Chain A
Amino acid sequence: MPAPAPKLDQLLAAVARGDETAFAQLYQATSSKLLGVALRILKNREVAEEVLQEAYFKVWERAGDYNSTIAAPVTWMAAIVRNRALDEARRRVIRSTGNENELENVESEDEHPIAALERAEDVERLMRCLDGLEPDRKQMVRLAYLDGMSREALAKRFDRPEGTIKTWLHRSLAQLRGCLEQ
């Protein structure tokens, strides 16, 4: 059995010191997942890879700012990727319908379970709390977070005024927060 892979926070700490091997390992462990995240939002592989490139460059430059008491490494990196992807999506006005099934992408053959293993409990808790929402509210939250749908896009999709969508989102998020704090 191979030696256990270093944890992501150790890799990030090494990257902050300019360790290029650690950066390569961090990329190896996280890039497939994070490209998946960017691609769901941007629906365009070329643009998603550009966003990923910029995001990893930022990770390299800002690794010293990472604070393990605030966020898990994957959370911190995913936030960088999602923010860049969402900004790019808004700039390009990608009007996602959330129905794209035609994306033909090679699924990663690598298994990188370390990211998931570090927070299996968090994943399980969030899924349980999402299941506590009304089915259409749960779908709305997922379409927003995973597919990058704006209020405007959700209003079209659910055929409701934006104000109603906003109210529903705020209630759903408050309910989620309450559930997660239990």
Chain B
Amino acid sequence: MTELDDIEALAAEYVLGTLSREERLTVAERRAADKALDRAIAAWEKRLSPMIETVTPVAPSPNLYNKIRAQIGLSQHVISLKAREQQLARRASRWRNAFVGVSAIAASAIGILGYREVLHQQMPTQYVAVLQTGADKPAFLLTVDTKTNMSVITAVNAPQRAAKSYEVWLVNDKLPKPKSLGVMKEGDMHVMPMAPGPDTDMFMQASFAVSLEPEGGSPTGTPTGPVLFTGKLIQATP
């Protein structure tokens, strides 16, 4: 019997499951760059996994598959809309350039030097996400104001559905699953203060989605119903 070297011992205990939380996190991070460790882990997974055949199978709840499908549907919806959003963002960028062009003419009238300050004082940068399907009327509007550091979600056109609620989600690759921003009905307005920092960066990069959930919102904390609308923030003012 050969003793385990350091890498083998670490890989074996990682797979066996005996490491502490901190040790597990370290190994999970290290294996991405350390090919030898990654190979050792795969080898131990192969050695030990036949043990799961001794585990009694337990049937999942009938609804679990639907939840998984909903989560997949949500991610695909977001992916398929990314191209369209990029197109929208390019269009917005053209508008912005046109706006800057017009502003420059105005600026020459009041003097170039003072202009930028005037602009900054008077006009906070605003971002907007329009959550809609196709060419329909906007259904949900999300705006972010960088001067007041407030974001506001407004339900513009959200017809009441019997025993159902609309739930707004933040979707970002950095999150393990969509994060709920709350349940909304027609005319609702949710105001959220935003502190500068990583959360805000994530918010600005995120996609937003609205799903139809049982009354009161998703019972599981992830979207379970059909995704009705998605969108991403685009810069609306300079």
Instruction: Identify the A interface with B (CB < 8 A).
Output: 20, 23-24, 27, 31-33, 35-37, 39-41, 49-50, 52-54, 56-57, 60-61, 70-72, 74-76, 78-79, 82-83, 86-87, 90-91, 105-110, 112, 115-116, 119, 122-123, 125-127, 130, 141-142, 144-146, 148-152, 154, 165-166, 169-171, 173-178, 180
On whether the beta carbons of B17 and A174 are closer than 8 Å, the reply is no
User: CA–CA, A27 to B64, complex, Å?
Assistant: 10
Shortest beta-carbon contacts, A-B, top 10 = A32-B57, A90-B21, A108-B59, A108-B57, A123-B50, A75-B49, A126-B50, A36-B55, A173-B12, A122-B50
User: CA–CA, A105 to B57, complex, Å?
Assistant: 10
Residues of A within 8 A of B197 (CB): none
Given A24-B65, A70-B42, A169-B18, are A112 and B57 also a contact pair (CB < 8 Å)?
Answer: yes
Q: Which residue of B lies closest to A24 (CB)?
A: B65
Tell me whether B29 is interfacial, beta carbon within 8 Å. Answer: no
* Residue of B20, B58, B71 with highest tally of chain A CB at under 10 A: B58
B67: contacting residue among A36, A53, A61, A72, CB under 8 A: A53
Tell me whether B51 is interfacial, beta carbon within 8 Å. Answer: yes
On whether the beta carbons of A108 and B58 are closer than 8 Å, the reply is yes
On whether the beta carbons of B55 and A178 are closer than 8 Å, the reply is no
Chain A: minimal CB distance from B154 (Å)? 30
Residues of B within 8 A of A50 (CB): 220-221
Given A70-B42, A150-B20, A170-B9, are A49 and B60 also a contact pair (CB < 8 Å)?
Answer: yes
Given A87-B24, A173-B4, are A27 and B48 also a contact pair (CB < 8 Å)?
Answer: no
Residues of A within 8 A of B49 (CB): 71-72, 74-75, 78-79
The count of chain B contact residues (Cβ–Cβ below 8 Å) is 48
Given A27-B65, A146-B51, A169-B13, are A32 and B58 also a contact pair (CB < 8 Å)?
Answer: yes
On whether the beta carbons of A79 and B45 are closer than 8 Å, the reply is yes
Pairs across A and B, CB under 8 Å, 8 listed = A33-B55, A71-B45, A74-B49, A79-B49, A126-B50, A145-B51, A170-B12, A173-B12
Tell me whether B26 is interfacial, beta carbon within 8 Å. Answer: no
Chain A: minimal CB distance from B149 (Å)? 31
Residues of A within 8 A of B134 (CB): none
Tell me whether B100 is interfacial, beta carbon within 8 Å. Answer: no
The secondary structure that dominates the A interface is helix
On whether the beta carbons of A33 and B57 are closer than 8 Å, the reply is yes
Chain B: minimal CB distance from A52 (Å)? 6
Chain B: minimal CB distance from A130 (Å)? 8
Residues of B within 8 A of A119 (CB): 50, 53
Tell me whether B222 is interfacial, beta carbon within 8 Å. Answer: yes
On whether the beta carbons of A35 and B59 are closer than 8 Å, the reply is yes
Residues of B within 8 A of A53 (CB): 64, 67-68, 71, 222
* Residue of B8, B46, B222 with highest tally of chain A CB at under 10 A: B46
User: CA–CA, A174 to B13, complex, Å?
Assistant: 11
The residues in B between 34 and 84 inclusive whose CB is less than 8 angstroms from any CB of A are 42, 45-61, 64-65, 67-69, 71-72, 75
Given A33-B55, A145-B51, are A49 and B61 also a contact pair (CB < 8 Å)?
Answer: yes
Q: Which residue of A lies closest to B59 (CB)?
A: A108
Q: Which residue of A lies closest to B22 (CB)?
A: A90
On whether the beta carbons of B19 and A150 are closer than 8 Å, the reply is yes
Residues of B within 8 A of A142 (CB): 51
Given A35-B60, A169-B13, are A178 and B20 also a contact pair (CB < 8 Å)?
Answer: no
On whether the beta carbons of A40 and B55 are closer than 8 Å, the reply is yes
**Known pairs A79-B45, A110-B57, A154-B18. 9 more at Cβ < 8 A?**
A32-B57, A33-B52, A41-B17, A86-B17, A106-B58, A141-B16, A145-B15, A150-B18, A178-B2
On whether the beta carbons of A146 and B54 are closer than 8 Å, the reply is yes
Residues of B within 8 A of A78 (CB): 45, 49, 52
B53: contacting residue among A54, A123, A148, A176, CB under 8 A: A123
Residues of B within 8 A of A39 (CB): 58
